[in-house]
Amino acid sequence: MFSFLRAKGPALSKAERYAQATQLQLTWWRFRRHRLAMISGIVVALFYVIAIGADFLATTDPHATDSRTSYITPQPIHFFEDDGSFRPHVSGLKGVRDPKTFKLIYTVDPNRHVPVDFLATGYEYSFLGITTTRHLFALRDPQRGDGIFILGTDQLGRDVWSRLMVATRVSLTIGLVGVTISLFLGVLLGGISALYGGWVDTVIQRTIEVIRSMPTIPLWLGLAAALPNDWSVTAVYFSITIIISLLAWTDLARVVRGKFLSLREEEFVMAAELAGASTGRIIFRHMLPSFMSHIIAAVSLALPAMIISETSLSFLGLGLRPPAISWGILLQDAQSIQSLALAPWLLAAAVPVILVILAFNFLGDGLRDAADPYG
Amino acid sequence: MAETPILSVRNLHTEFAAPEGTVHAVDGVSFDVFKGRTLGVVGESGCGKSVTARSILGIVERPGRVTGGEILLQPADGGTPVDLLKMSPWDMRAVRGPEIALVFQEPMASFSQYYTIGNQIMEGIRLHMGLSAKAARARAIDLLDMVGVPQPARRVDEYPFQLSGGLRQRVMIAMALSCDPRVLIADEPTTALDVTTQAQILDLLRELQQKRGLAIILITHDMGVIAEMAHDVAVMYLGRAVETGAVKDIFAAPQHPYTRALLRSIPTVMAKPRTRLPTIEGSIPQPFNRPVGCAYHPRCTEAVFAACRTEPPPEVGVAGRNVRCYLHGGLPGARA
Amino acid sequence: MTGAATLLEVNGLKKYFPIRKGLLRRVVGQVRAVDGVSFAIRKGETLALVGESGCGKTTVSRCILRAMMPTAGSIKFTIAGSTVDLATLPRKTLRPLRRHMQMVFQDPFSSLNPRMMVGDIIGEPLLINGMSDRAARRKRVLELMELVGLPGAAINRFPHAFSGGQRQRIGIARALALNPELIVADEPVSALDVSVQAQILNLLLDLQDKLQLTVLFVAHDLSVVKHVADRVAVMYVGRIVELAETEALYHRPLHPYTEALLSAAPTPVPGAVSQRIILERDIADPANPPPGCAFHPRCRHAEARCRETRPELEEIEPGRFVACLRANELALRGIAAMTGPAL
Ligand SMILES: Nc1ncnc2c1ncn2[C@@H]1O[C@H](COP(=O)(O)OP(=O)(O)OP(=O)(O)O)[C@@H](O)[C@H]1O
Ligand SMILES: Nc1ncnc2c1ncn2[C@@H]1O[C@H](COP(=O)(O)OP(=O)(O)OP(=O)(O)O)[C@@H](O)[C@H]1O
Ligand SMILES: [Mg+2]
Ligand SMILES: [Mg+2]
């Protein structure tokens, strides 16, 4: 995967390899020594793998409701039958009549084993334009109400695990799209601010200050309230992304401006200018590469902020709205004390939020240290 | 020089565990410091001068570690010398300031920008001398006056950034002297200053030494400053003191090839215009990639022994005049 | 030497930096970093510009290379028989002229792009100025590396693999790539270790002989200057106070500031300091220079008129320029008087 980082020939001595190492290689070597950041990088990568394969990892249609399966406790997958043979299965459900209310309620029947198959067929979904029914695992021949409830179900009987998988995709990509937009805005406006200076700089800087001084929650409230109720899930998704990134670009713009200004004073930039280099060459050959790594680090620190923003907005009911699924929306289900007391597993969505945020922060710190050991 | 030294460093070793390998920043340095005299420690960048100073004060920062040697301090009342390396960190606090004080190279970095210089001088005074705030302030003003800061009563309430480089260095010296130390370590006190300001500060140090009998360790890379200020000299190269001796001996009859070459390669105003300088070939090796044997041998034009490449030469010579070079003895075969 | 043609003639060069304050960044004052500097450099000579920190040396050199736009004055550069005024040239016309004058920087670390290989760094001026053939460029780069004493094997290395002295060699090779007439070296050895400093000074001397370079050598250190300069200009707070042939200036300075600088230069001779002149106070602030002669608050020879009249740089003897009202009456001490035994 990192073969591009390796030095060209095997014949180079250690010192010579070091001497001919690009800044990218040096950064990678330094980063590799940073244990926590390395682990965090792997964690982040795994999360994005989940985001890509969300439907494949899901077991049940995350939108399918079924009143009979409401609040099922988490059900482990048993890998061995009682006789010790390897036959993965889960317990089935059975209906019992409540002796007082005479309502039919469903509980787990440990005696009925429903076999689980790997790479089996389940509900239909489309991925990259391919419509398929292939899942990592699925029940062999489920009866009505049967399902793999690794993390239990919510009030409407939807499988929390499957919803969590799909939510991971939504929440993580909202961060990516948001960061891309704010990266674009940040680099553009930060660059303009630094290169033109004068009143352009003043206007941009004052704008940034105004944006940063606005309290975010009321602002989000207002903007989110302005979104029409009848918009589709996708439209809301993109609007939220844009709202978040419109506020988040300011940090990046500052980093970029600061870097541009300090690089302009660097003597190697002046040397290129004195050799007659064009402005374009100076910017793209000398300045941009010098702070690419800073941008990467800034991005990896901005991503978790985006994710948190989306999660909190949705949690407050201001961001995505059901039937969309995101971490914030899953947590919203766990808002009331009753539901928590009845079904504490609904909090499961908090775990990936915490994990991802921590991992991104450690990763960003590690990248920054590796990119700029003296700064 | 029958007198006992105030401070005696014996075979000091300090290492840094760097990713590229262990850096032996100080690798067996020995020297003596006497009352009322200046020991000049001279050497090029990275040879371990600052680390030596920090080791003496017990403020080597991680990943550095003092791994061996003795730092013997003669107590003020006579008595037997104490080894600072065996002291607890708590006891060392009573040594830093009242016994040994440090002046840094870059005064801007060693001041807090958020307190007035008066506050910063008074902090040390109150901590170590237990004076009242008022008495401490009076003493701070006295100190500023002593180091030649004009209008000390006004300057005491200024912030470091309001002072010029030269004044800042004077304040730094005032701060170092606030608890009447017996040994002052000045780590490149004038490197960041202009020559005219340097002349002022060196003059101040000389004057303070005469008045108070201070023992000074003056760290510098400038042989000119050494010639002007030092009584005794230790020439360092890559973590070792390759030659020590009285200043006259070092300049008149340098014994180590490095000292000789260094002295020849210094530009001076006395030179004939546009003359080439004799140079030392090559450059200082990477600290984690130090040559085996005598660290100077790859650049040495006088290296003649096989041992130079395998064994670091031992220190030979009489008290106060030592050299680490096989040219002057210590060859493994010769001793047997 | 005296017969040689003038390559560069600077006249009344000024560079003021505005001091801005407040939210609206209004201009509340000016730093007179360079305040009327005039000198000429002949073809093939080394002129040293000496002075203490903040006196405007870097600003002068950057104005000459037009890395900065001067506030006033003219910079006449004679190339191929025709003379242009660099101070007023528009950027477009300037670019093709840049190849005739190059700079060597002070900081061996910040002056090389850490992301480019040595070969690319040295080759960049060639590439920019139209040598697009890779092989030809490589050949020229190797030639330059040999010229400055770098092993050709290092061509694919990155700057981080080099010591300060070697980096400075890379910087020199880059400056020489286009065969410039004029090299402006801004404190090229100030950041180097003593033992390496001598190597680079020698290299500069050799290159100059080999390539007939004209050099403006900026330094804060009179002892370094002695080894490279044909003539020396001493600056104090934005102005030149004395300009003379090296030998003459060191032996018989005519300005009290030159005298003080000479006497403050550390000399590696124990006991040489007995007669040092120690200047009182700090160097003047270029944002707020004293009236009259800027040096008068620190001058031991100052009189009442020094506080009022600002002395102009005048040629009081052939080839000796000095800006001091009392230049003709003072007998100042040169190097011979200050130290005992010479080396
Ligand atoms: N914090 C540190 N971590 C790793 N190595 C260090 C550290 N501090 C110092 N060193 C190493 O110790 C060696 C000696 O450093 P020291 O600062 O004493 O040099 P110096 O003689 O004071 O040089 P200079 O003239 O540049 O101040 C250097 O080679 C340096 O690499
Ligand atoms: N871009 C700038 N804006 C404002 N003031 C400046 C700027 N550049 C330099 N100055 C001021 O101009 C004066 C001269 O600066 P310059 O860098 O030319 O001095 P120098 O002689 O090169 O000093 P040094 O020895 O420290 O390099 C200084 O007082 C400095 O503060
Ligand atoms: Mg040091
Ligand atoms: Mg400068």
pLDDT digits (tens, 9 = 90+) for A84-136: 788 777 777 777 777 777 777 777 777 777 777 777 777 777 777 788 888 78
pLDDT in tens, C116-141: 889 999 999 999 998 889 999 999 99
Residue C23 — pLDDT band, cuts 50, 70, 90? low
Radius of gyration from C-alpha coordinates of chain B: 21
The residue nearest atom 12 of ligand 1, judged by CA position, is B25
Of A145-159, A296-310, A336-350, C49-63, the range with the highest mean pLDDT is: C49-63
CA dist list (Å): C171 to C97, C204, C214: 20, 12, 17
User: Is residue A63 within 8 Å of residue A323, measured between CB atoms?
Assistant: yes
Ligand 2 in reach of C290 Cβ (< 6 A): no
Range with the poorest average pLDDT among A297-301, B64-68, B196-200, C272-276: C272-276
Q: Go through chain B and tell me how many residues it has.
A: 336
- What structural domains does chain C harbor? 6-22+29-111+181-339 (3.40.50.300)
User: Is residue A306 within 8 Å of residue A291, measured between CB atoms?
Assistant: no
C91 touches chain A (CB under 8 A): no
How far apart, in whole angstroms, are the C-alpha atoms of residue B285 and residue B289?
A: 7
Farthest-apart Cα atoms in chain C, separation: 68
* Ligand 1 atom nearest B221 alpha carbon: 25
What residue has token string 């690319």?
Answer: C120
Compute the mean pLDDT over every residue in chain B, rounded to the nearest whole number: 87
What DSSP assignment string belongs to B274-310? T-PPP---S-PPPTTSPPSSSTTGGG-SS---GGGGT
Q: Go through chain A and tell me how many residues it has.
A: 375
Cβ distance of C221 and B267 shorter than 8 Å: yes
What residue has token string 């200047």?
Answer: C279
At C72 the pLDDT is 93
User: Is residue A309 within 8 Å of residue A189, measured between CB atoms?
Assistant: no
Sheet strands side by side (includes A130-139): A78-80, A86-97, A104-127, A130-139
- What structural domains does chain A harbor? 42-51+163-370 (1.10.3720.10), 63-153 (no CATH)
Which of A114, A118, A158 has its CA nearest to residue A135?
A118
The residue nearest atom 5 of ligand 2, judged by CA position, is C17
pLDDT in tens, C74-123: 999 998 888 899 999 998 888 889 999 999 998 888 899 988 889 999 99
How far apart, in whole angstroms, are the C-alpha atoms of residue C201 and residue A276?
A: 27
Find the CB nearest B194 among C52, C266, C272.
C52
Identity of the residue numbered B227: A
pLDDT in tens, A193-235: 888 888 888 899 898 888 888 887 777 777 777 877 777 777 7
Cβ distance of C102 and A23 shorter than 8 Å: no
Interval between CA B86 and ligand 1 midpoint (Å) = 24
Interface probe with A: pick from C91, C158, C186, most Cβ of A within 10 Å: C158
B21: which DSSP letter? E
Q: Find the mean pLDDT for residues B26-32.
A: 92
3-state secondary structure of C289: coil
User: Is residue B159 within 8 Å of residue B148, measured between CB atoms?
Assistant: no
User: Is residue B294 within 8 Å of residue B303, measured between CB atoms?
Assistant: yes
At B194 the pLDDT is 84
B179: which DSSP letter? T
Q: Go through chain C and tell me how many residues it has.
A: 343
Interface probe with B: pick from C187, C206, C224, C267, most Cβ of B within 10 Å: C267
pLDDT in tens, C289-333: 888 899 999 998 988 999 999 999 999 999 999 999 998 888 888
Ligand 2 in reach of C53 Cβ (< 6 A): yes
Residue C248 — pLDDT band, cuts 50, 70, 90? very high
Residue B245 — pLDDT band, cuts 50, 70, 90? very high
Its ipTM equals: 0.86
Tokens at B218, concatenated: 């003056």
CA dist list (Å): A223 to A174, A237, A303, A315, A324: 17, 13, 21, 16, 19
The residues facing C50 across adjacent strands are C219, C234
Of A337-346, B301-310, C144-153, the range with the highest mean pLDDT is: C144-153
CB within 8 A of B5, min separation 6: which ones?
B32, B33, B34, B72, B74
Tokens at A1, concatenated: 């995967």
State the Cα torsion A249-A251-A257-A258 to the nearest 10°.
-170
Residue spans of alpha helices (H) in C47-189: 57-64, 91-94, 118-128, 134-147, 164-176
Pocket residues: Cβ below 6 A from ligand 1:
B 16, 18, 23, 25, 43, 45-51, 61, 63-64, 221, 287
The residue nearest atom 24 of ligand 1, judged by CA position, is B45
